[in-house]
């Protein structure tokens, strides 16, 4: 059931902090670019910051309302993200339908039948291999199966994890807000600091625009994001857990961005969408989160077991 967001004492502090982070991020972009306002407004960095200016407040509001509102947001990201991947990879229609359908099934299982969550990857593989077997179309089926499986593991399964953690853990809402907002800050900071410091290329054959300066920016952004959202950090998290969370956030954000670049380079194309102000599509905007979210979750579980 939807909730009144103002009934949660965390909503207003988190919402105000998110707006502050976005404003500061826009100012940082302006300083980093050092260009005229007209040129600055057309820059990639400004478009990235402007995207978060729109979706940041909407995300926080939807998450704290919860219920079908949050589920609709997750459904939109799954449908749009997987559709973009299908176009990028050139996945055939039967495989595309199965991929998008199973992505939605994953959200339902994560929300309503968590005991079967671990079956999702293997269940998808079983159904996926049935497509060429039952259709008899085995030519190029190995590539279609492999590409479709990558799409599910990269987009569909991580989105199911977001719903799963939010519903299964007592601190799931706190975790979702902290990780998502901090990834957005790390994303913008990586771009801004990378533009200023530049430095050696990180993986030039995958994405020549990524530098070690950007990695430093991601670490700074993750630290700032978690620090400003400190009121949302659950009491049961140890200091060691928070430190590990920041490190994994920074690494996972860069890792996800590089993975999206690798996929785009491998297929020699780029997912585009006009739904997010014409910049980069949904997949490009959530790639960092898709990698960072499961990594951060299991990092916290591991630290909890080692420390506790």
- Cβ-contact 186, 65 below 8 angstroms: no
Q: Note the pLDDT tens digit of each residue in 224-253.
A: 999 999 999 999 999 999 999 999 999 999
> CA triplet 54, 187, 9: central angle to 5 degrees?
60
Q: Specify the pTM.
A: 0.85
Gap between the Cα atoms of 198 and 32, Å rounded? 11
- DSSP 8-state secondary structure symbol assigned to residue 6: G
Q: Note the pLDDT tens digit of each residue in 111-148.
A: 999 999 999 999 999 999 999 999 888 888 999 999 99
The token duo for 98 is 């199965």
The token duo for 17 is 């902090």
Phi, psi of 233 (to 5 degrees): -70, 120
Domain locations in the chain as residue ranges:
75-168
Residue 149, pLDDT > 80, answer yes
Q: Would you place residue 25 in the very low, low, confident or very high pLDDT band (cuts 50, 70, 90)?
A: low
Parallel/antiparallel/unpaired status of strands 207-211 and 201-203: antiparallel
> CA triplet 146, 148, 152: central angle to 5 degrees?
115
């Amino acid at each position: 059931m939807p909730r009144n967001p103002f009934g949660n004492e965390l909503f207003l502090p988190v919402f105000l902090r998110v707006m502050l982070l976005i404003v500061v991020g826009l100012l940082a972009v302006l300083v980093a670019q050092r260009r005229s306002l007209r040129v600055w407004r057309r820059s990639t960095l400004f478009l990235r910051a402007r995207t978060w200016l729109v979706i940041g407040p909407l995300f926080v509001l939807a998450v704290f309302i919860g219920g079908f509102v949050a589920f609709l947001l997750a459904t939109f990201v799954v449908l749009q993200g997987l559709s973009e991947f299908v176009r990028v990879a050139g996945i055939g229609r039967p495989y595309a339908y199965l991929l998008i359908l199973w992505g939605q099934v994953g959200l339902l299982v994560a929300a309503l039948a968590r005991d079967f969550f671990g079956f999702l990857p293997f269940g998808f593989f079983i159904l996926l291999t049935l497509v060429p077997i039952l259709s008899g179309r085995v030519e190029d089926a190995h590539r279609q199966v492999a590409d479709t499986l990558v799409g599910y593991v990269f987009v569909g399964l991580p989105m199911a994890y977001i719903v799963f953690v939010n519903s299964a853990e007592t601190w799931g809402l706190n975790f979702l807000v902290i990780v998502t907002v901090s990834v957005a800050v790390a994303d913008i900071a990586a771009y801004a600091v990378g533009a200023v410091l530049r430095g050696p290329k990180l993986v030039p054959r995958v994405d020549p625009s990524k530098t070690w300066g950007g990695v430093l920016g991601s670490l700074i952004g993750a630290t700032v994001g978690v620090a400003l959202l400190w009121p949302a950090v659950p009491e049961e998290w140890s200091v060691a857990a928070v430190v590990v969370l920041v490190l994994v956030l920074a690494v996972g954000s860069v890792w996800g961005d590089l993975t999206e670049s690798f996929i785009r380079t491998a297929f020699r194309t780029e997912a585009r969408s006009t739904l997010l102000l014409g910049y980069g599509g949904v997949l490009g905007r959530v790639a960092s989160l898709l990698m960072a979210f499961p990594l951060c979750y299991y990092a916290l579980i591991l630290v909890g077991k080692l420390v506790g």
